[in-house]
A and B are shown apart, each in its own frame.
Chain A
Amino acid sequence: MATIFPPEEEQIIELDVRTDEMLVSMGPQHPSTHGVLRLVLRTDGEVVSEVTPHLGYLHRCAEKIGENVTPIQFIPYTDRMDYLSGMNMNLGYSLAVEKLCGLTDKIPEKAQVIRVIVCELNRIASHLVGIGAYGLDLGTFSPFLYAFREREMILDLFEEVCGARLTYSYVTIGGVHDDLPEGWLERCSKFLDWFEPRLEEYHTLLTRNSIFIKRTAGIGVLPRDMAVAYGCTGPMLRGSLNREKGDPPWDLRKIEPYCGYEQYDFEIPIPPFREAPVEAVIGDAWHRFYVRMKEMEQSARIVRQALRKYETARGAHRIEPPRHLPPGEAYVETECPRGQMGFYVVGRPTKESVPLRVRARSSSFCNLSVTHEICRGCLIADVPAIVGSIDIVMGEVDR
């Protein structure tokens, strides 16, 4: 355990210098709050005694809009929820509507494979921003630029597929918008060849960097039970699990496979890691960061398998979506880069093309809800390190 108490006298010196309490507003324009998040910190000297996140600056009534447009028209809105992983958001909503319409088993194999390829590439792109921006929060600039270089290549691949770089609207109800263009498979595997050795660079610049370790190891420890109680998912939860204590590698791609994930061979990285520095504790910022690094490796592995699969995949890239939604309800959760993103769709009792209710369960929102617990008692300088390790996207928190 890293949280040991120093000798009594030191504590007294540290805490006996009484300072006034102060409320500090961090954000919404603070560069390390990753968007428009406002944290009100109650500080006692250098120590933060209370953190209150203020949300809602980016609220765009996405759920209400979903009740007024057809499911296909809502796809572009889902892009804008987690704008760093638009493909995964598209997929979540598409799967929910497909489940409602009873189409889940009718999606052709080819469409499934393309979905897996683009979603895993998007996971890599999203984690690259996550770790790059995290390095930026902690004062190292180079990994951020390198991460964006790699991400740019993924965006180029996406641009070829769907004509957009950020808001793809590519995965839609019934499959995907277009088939993969000619020569794309080669370019994609070329990218993977290029990308996989580059991960070592991030390990050099971040994972093993002693300043980075000092800023992250033992900081913001999120115990496993608290993570479960607050509904944390994704790397946030997996960073707190312990394989040796028998925790399951909690990832929906393994636990409730969708889109044929059960046919791929991949692992869910959870602690303890051999590479962990001695001062790192399971559940701290370093472990969350490292889970993301490991996941990128696994995603690249899945993409490679999917590229091979694509060549023999049968069926079309898309089937005709139904014109009307049947009455009933469907809820689907998918594993997005930031956690479990759930979409809930209710069809109107009279068959209509517009749903009665659309609800999005956002992973970033639940992950953010633990900030006040894990930030209490830390130093002000550690708040960006903790918030950065949660890797939130405010578009998804506020929807």
Chain B
Amino acid sequence: MPIAPSEVKWIDERTLSPWDWLYLPALWEGLSTTVRHMFSKKVTIEFPEQRPSVPPHYKGVHRLNRDEQGRVRCVACYLCATACPAHCIDIVAAPSPWPDREKYPELFVIDELRCIYCGMCEEACPVDAIELTTLYDLTGFSREEMLFDKEKLLAVYDYTVNKGTDAIRTLRGTLGPASEILEQQSAPLPNT
């Protein structure tokens, strides 16, 4: 049904004075703002070459921390898997080969595609074994590649610690410089 003429909304347009009609003042006002910006300091960075600096507690890719002897710190208590709102942590616990704890994770898989990087696993962990690092550009070619298992998560730890980007946070809330641990780990890391 065609619209009734009374329903059409007519707008009363202001008639411009000849001076306004030239749009010169308006043009000048707008252009002076944009031109001023052309000569101000650039706020963009050229991403792959230049990298933004992110704060130490940035919520990026996970890592599994090693303890002083280079073993995985996790005690397979499942607290992180329970806290995770996206249910993306899978843990298979096994009796620990080491005397100082009962269990250790035989398998520890985080689906990084499902993860929403909320940091609740980090918060839940009683022994600070799982942490989110400052790595933010995570990419992969396949879904399988994005399932991070224990070895890969430990490798993330080695990578970030070696690079010095992520300090080891042994106690919640305090930051320790990553270099401290590197000195202690002069011996090659044993396989977990």
Contact = CB atoms under 8 A, between A and B. Distances in A.
B3 A377 contact: yes
Contacts of B34: 142, 205
Contacts of A4: 10, 12
Contacts of B16: 210
A164 B2 contact: no
Contacts of B83: 73
B105 to A, nearest CB: 22
Contacts, number: 105
B55 A149 contact: no
- Give the most central of A14, A163, A205: most B CB within 10 Å: A163
Contact of B9 (A152, A214, A279, A378): A378
B55 A77 contact: no
Contacts of B118: 75-76, 167, 169
A210 B54 contact: no
Interface in B10-32: 10-14, 16, 20, 23, 26, 29-30
Interface string A26-46: 000000000000000000100
Label chain B's interface by main secondary structure.
loop
Given A15-B5, A49-B7, A205-B33, A163 B12 contact: no
Contacts of B5: 11, 15
A149 B59 CA distance: 22
Nearest to B11: A218
Given A4-B12, A146-B37, A209 B2 contact: no
A376 B7 contact: yes
A253 to B, nearest CB: 28
Interface in A184-220: 201, 204-205, 208-211, 214, 218-219
A16 to B, nearest CB: 10
Contacts of A178: 57
A76 B119 CA distance: 10
B8 interface: yes
Interface in B34-85: 34, 37, 43, 54-55, 57-59, 83-85
Which bracket fits the contact residues of B?
Answer: 35 or more
B59 A205 contact: no
Interface centre among B9, B12, B58 (most CB of A within 10 A): B9
Contact of B85 (A73, A162, A376): A73
B154 interface: no
B120 A73 contact: yes
B11 A2 contact: yes
A4 B14 CA distance: 12
14 contacts: A3-B10, A4-B12, A6-B10, A21-B2, A47-B8, A72-B120, A73-B83, A142-B34, A163-B57, A164-B119, A178-B57, A181-B55, A210-B16, A277-B14
> 5 shortest A-B CB distances, which residue pairs?
A49-B3, A73-B85, A163-B59, A377-B9, A76-B118
